[in-house]
Structure 1
């Protein structure tokens, strides 16, 4: 039995000796640098879109006019400057300025007044550096009121020019 244990031990030693590790002929490549973490997708509206413009303007995408007027006052100028800054920051964005009127007056008169209001706003944007080729106008006259009612408050809200970004 003694010989058996010795024989088994020697056989194991010989077997292990035969398993000696040899250096590989070619080393594996170094580990690759870890891949950068994916950039999170932006949240919110895409820049240069109407949704982004409205969000950035915070209500300054609309200017208001006095009765039968289409002149740009100081408050309107501030809103139009903000609009121009946006449009200059996003040169791929084009805009339409829509002119509106209150319900008083004939349809034809209000369409013409809405066009004068839209054109006045467009011309001011152009004077601030926005290329005229990126701006268009349209008049809705009294056809698209935002406030219903036949009272001075509703009329004041409807006498407006609205800038809308289009692509």
Structure 2
């Protein structure tokens, strides 16, 4: 009886180890260090090694100095991987009307697009979309959550 229990526990551990080793593969660039080797030119590569998002101030769409540093690295990465096209997603926090936040997300996405183009990325490789407040990255109703939701995300297309 004791041997059956030990065997069952071993099988469960083996099964859980196999399933957890595969969960980082399709995280859409959200994996951290140690979640596997990213394929060069992939979303995971961009997110892990360059950074796939920039953040904005309340009601703002101007790219900050921190955002510029990230976008400088993104433009170099995009020039290295000339066959990669991207979509810039514009997002807003939950405050404001749906219409206002869609327009703000559009301005944020286009600010990022314009910055990348000004740094040598071909315009045909960069498209934009606004999700407004419809896709928060972080749930919550406080400044910490709102700050993380005021963003533009570069997504490999």
Identify the TM-score tier after normalising by the shorter chain.
0.7 to 0.9
Q: Distance in 1 between matches of 2:40 and 2:92?
A: 30
Query: In structure 2, which of residues 44, 47, 62 is the aligned counterpart of residue 71 of structure 1?
Result: 62
Tell me which protein shows more helix as a share of its residues.
2
TM-score, normalised by the number of residues in structure 1:
0.71
CA deviation vs aligned residue, 1:90-144 (integer Å, no higher than 9, x gap): 0001111100000000001000000000000000000000001000000000000
Structure 2 residue 38 is matched with structure 1 residue 45: yes
Aligned residue in 1 for 2:136? 145
Could you tell me how far 1:45 is from its partner in structure 2? 2.9
Could you say what secondary structure the match of 1:81 adopts? helix
TM-score, scaled relative to structure 2: 0.75
Q: Look up the match of 1:62.
A: 53
SS of the residue corresponding to residue 110 of structure 2 reads helix
Higher-Rg structure is 1
CA RMSD of aligned residues (A): 1.1
Question: SS where residue 121 of structure 2 aligns?
Answer: coil
Provide the C-alpha distance between the structure 2 equivalents of 1:99 and 1:54, rounded to a whole number of angstroms.
16
2:41 match: secondary structure: coil
